[in-house]
Amino acid sequence: MTDTTVATGLTVENWDAKFFTENMMANRFKREMGTSSKNIIQLKTDLTKKKGESITYALVNRLTGAGVTGSSTLEGNEEDMESRSFKLSVNKIRNAVRVAEVDEQFSAISLRQAGKEVLQDWMMEKTRDDIITALHQINGVAYGSASESQKDTWLTDNADRVLFGNAIGSGTDHSARLGAVTAAMKLGPEEVSLMKRMASTASPKIRPTRATEDERYFVLYCDSLTFRDFAANATITQANRDALARGKSNPLFAGGDLIWDGVIVKEIPDIPSLGQVGASNARVSAAFMCGAQAIGFAYAKRTTSKTEEFDYGDKVGVAVEEIRGIGKMV
């Protein structure tokens, strides 16, 4: 009797599928990812089924008109949806490890297993960093690469949705507004509520993401020190102590996300500081209040692995690659 064995090609496909799934599940932004236009990070996989170098997202604004009542005529009084679009380009992302036969004696498939953890950590961190870079983008340009002129233009275009410090200011000189932020301006419940009001009154309005039929939330991403200041605020501490369940699950003990005024505040330790660019060299960091369709995440090719022999078969390498794009929707 002959035992049934799994074909090598099928084993590789299973490994690739599991690698992709575990990589996405381990990502810090996973809870905000989804294929719906209601998700903060909207995933699209259209290019996995057809050729192309970019994906176009349809951005539809909320209707704000009053409509008609009674026997009033609707024809000719329809409201413009003001639909817009955002094109996101994709590119290849890859990395590899290589092992010599004298150090390890295993087949190509077991090498995939051996290198899985380090390659998966790299891909997860790459995805996380690309999302953070996208959040910082100035009209498609990385924040650190944007000129002062580009930052000023971006501020002019987004004056109703950019907050410096703890109060709505005026002026379109990005450096001047940044330089006015003081060390005393820390993230607290008042600042979060102010950002929510700005998001709700901006034109076009920023749509919250829907958790349930009756619950709608914005999500605020911030770095560790900003989150520390928010968590230590007396109002937030009292709210957690008095309004939430007692015991080890309370955020006072368990840590994790905090909620205030319909905003989920999330700590992302890898968000970098902008440096000592505030008043009197105050350290400043960016915090990102996000609604639906804040980030586009497009896949043209999900994670695949490849193996190759080098040096007359003495060394074997395994590589992982994806073709994807991540960008802030504008």
Closest CA to 284 of 197, 151, 184, 193: 184
State both tokens at 157.
């275009």
Residue type, 250: N
DSSP H helices in the chain: 8-25, 108-136, 148-157, 174-179, 189-201, 224-232, 234-243, 251-254
Residue type, 159: A
Sheet hosting strand 41-44, strand order edge to edge: 33-34, 41-44, 295-310, 315-328, 91-100
- For residue 279, the 8-state DSSP code is G
Encode pLDDT of 229-283 as tens digits: 999 999 998 887 776 655 545 454 445 789 999 999 999 999 999 999 999 999 9
Cis peptide bond upstream of 204, omega within 30: yes
Mean pLDDT for the stretch of residues 146-151: 97
- Band of the pLDDT at 112, cuts 50, 70, 90? low
Rounded CA-CA distance 317/310 in Å is 8
Burial of residue 247, with CB atoms counted within 10 A of its CB: 0-12 exposed, 13-18 middle, 19 or more buried: exposed
Task: Answer yes or no: are the C-beta atoms of 47 and 298 closer than 8 Å.
Answer: yes
Residue type, 217: Y
- Of the listed ranges 114-123, 173-182, 276-285, the least confidently predicted one is 114-123
Closest CA to 148 of 283, 327, 295, 277: 277
Q: What's the predicted TM-score (pTM) here? A: 0.85
Name which residue leads in pLDDT, 141 or 20.
141
- The confidence score (pLDDT) of residue 280 equals 96
Judging by DSSP bridges, how do beta strands 54-59 and 84-89 pair with one another?
Answer: antiparallel
Please state, rounded to an integer, the average pLDDT across all residues of the chain: 85
- Band of the pLDDT at 284, cuts 50, 70, 90? very high
